[in-house]
Structure 1
Amino acid sequence: MDADCAKLNDESLLLKLRSGDSASFAEIYQRYWPILFRHAFRMLKNDNEAEDVVQDTFTKLWKAAPELPTDTILAAYLYTIVRNQVLNIIARSSVQASYRTDLKKFMVDGYELTDHLTRERILSKLIEDEIQNLPSRMREVFELKRKQHLSYKEIADVMEISELTVKTQMNKAITILRKKLGNHIALFFTIL
């Protein structure tokens, strides 16, 4: 390190730094690193993040030096960079924490929803298959009642059979489906 730079004030160091003098940069680094680190650490409570902030601050200073106005107050400039970077980290951490929380909630809710929909689809397929296996007349009565929402009288009129036959066919269909699907439903919910 240049001994002459150690004697210079901030304004003189900044003037030399504007012209690309690395010795003045090294002096500014030595002079401000501990102060800026403590400042960043006080806000972040994390050594690694505080070090990164200070390192980035000096990188920004080096890159911006040739363009800095002559009336720039070095300490204020460096503190402003540190403060802005700390605020960005805090904001990013807050957004990330919120994102992680939302993602966890979605993963749980989304899995449950997907699991529920999958079960529902499989169960619907099982029910539909068993309905298709009913004798044709019974299946027709069942579908008119459950899918078309017709009354027993309307079904009797459409099929030209008695209401008692409709009621009997409906009861038999329900009994058959309960017997056949009872085991599937119990097994279905045990496996999943």
Structure 2
Amino acid sequence: MKDYSEYTDQVLTQMMLRKDELAYTEIYKRYWSLLYQHARRMLQNDEEAKNVVQDVFLTLWTRAEGLELSGALASYLYTSVRNKILNIFRKNKIANEHLASLTSFIEHGENITDHQIRERELSEIIEKEIARLPERMQQVFLMKRNENLSYKEIALEMGTTELTVKTQMTNALRVLRKKLGPSTFHSAFPFL
């Protein structure tokens, strides 16, 4: 019987792509612990980390025949774990600092700037939530945020009272804080 532990990642990958279960098992043994530790550092949750790694390996096996791995196996696995974690963060609307910290844990793979991508995605989420505010509330919020006008200046421009402007702003902030979560809200609107 062959000793699969002596094969390189490249050879094991080629064998696994042909549905060699022993090659897959060797890859699993070789990388499960490393990927789990990586996921655990990012998620700070044992069960979520195990689930992420299990999902990556399940996907690797079930889609093995159709996979086109152009780079190193380690890069593919780390990138898969990273992407699953980013999806978890996105779903939970975790603040930007968590998303940016992911890149420092990538040992292999592409050197794209995830931070800029995540920042853009977060900005899009924030803008969508602002766009969902009622029209007058949105107008007050944007005048305060974009033009840095006082409540008095906004009231004059809108032809209303300062109290109405203050109430609209308070309501807008309450809605956005609820929709975005406290940490995302405060990182997005440090002026408030």
Report the TM-score, using the length of structure 1 for normalisation. 0.48
Larger Rg: 1
- Whose helix proportion is higher, 1 or 2? 1
Report the TM-score, using the length of structure 2 for normalisation. 0.48
